[in-house]
Structure 1
Amino acid sequence: MDSIKMANVKDIIKAKIADKKVMIFSKPHCPFCLMAKEVLEKYVGKGQIIEPEDYEVWEINKDSNYSQLWEELTNMTGSRTVPRVFVNGTFIGGGTETRDLDSSGQLVEMLKKKKTA
């Protein structure tokens, strides 16, 4: 039963990442999560680089499948920390990496690229 549950969680995570230009797996009070969200949210809005429907934050600790989500994200990204930030389907890192990519101008370039299916 657990393997079916894990397969479903993995499929759900992959679908979310594929469906959104920016997908953040987060915890609400984590300072690094707040950092990543603050950086990215300045680019979200009508007429901005990221349309609101293309941006999602999933507060994983509020989900009933939290432990499975945590385990699968760890397997996918190689790290047990949050946030886990994906842009156009690519894992870019956590809060510090998101901030650093923004500071260097690379984040804007990544965000301007079309989402690949």
Structure 2
Amino acid sequence: MAQQFVNSKLKADKVVVFGKSSCPYCHDAVKLLEGLHLKPGHFEYVDLTTRSDMSAIQDYLLEITGARTVPRVFIGEKCIEDWSLVKSSNGLEDSTTSCYCTIFWK
């Protein structure tokens, strides 16, 4: 069930953040991504604290990304591995210059 839920969120034309409402890094990630002015419908924040299967989702995120910590930021099906590096540099802009990511911007 958790696997199906996560996989349903990961689409080639979407940026998804899996986070928790109590996590300041998750708030930073959302704020940064909202500031990029992605096209409507191409960004989603999933608050794991509202889900009864939160632990199972984090276990699946561990399986596919190597970590169950949040935020887990995906561009399409690709996880941004080290959010702290992205936040402190142009890492996100650099990673989004590839052809599959540029469609997100207005």
Which TM class, normalised by the smaller chain length?
Answer: 0.7 to 0.9
Structure 1 partner of 2:24: 31
Unaligned runs of 5+ in 2: none
Question: Quick check: 1:32–1:94 contact (8 Å CA) kept in 2?
Answer: no
Alpha carbons of 1:96 and 1:114: their partners in 2 closer, same or farther (altered >3 Å)? same
The answer to which structure has the higher helix fraction is 1
Q: Provide the alpha-carbon RMSD of the alignment.
A: 2.4
Gaps of 5+ in 1: 1-7, 45-49
Q: How many residues align?
A: 103
CA contact (8 A) 1:88 1:114 kept: no
Percent pairwise identity: 25
Q: 2 CA distance for matches of 1:106 and 1:38?
A: 18
Larger Rg: 1
The structure 2 residue matched to 1:53, chosen from 41, 53, 57, is 41
Sort the Cα spacing of 1:75 and 1:12 in 2 relative to 1 into closer, same or farther, 3 A. same
How has the CA–CA distance of structure 1 residues 41 and 78 changed in structure 2, closer, same or farther, with 3 Å as cutoff?
same
The aligned counterpart of 2:34 is: 41
Are 2:106 and 1:113 aligned?
A: no
Does the CA-based 8 Å contact 2:15-2:44 persist in structure 1? yes
What's the TM-score once normalised by structure 2's chain length? 0.79
Q: Deviations over 1:16-65 (max 9, x none)?
A: 01265100000112121122112111023xxxxx2121110001121111
Q: How far apart are the structure 1 equivalents of 2:86 and 2:18? A: 13
Query: Which residue does the alignment assign to 1:47?
Result: none
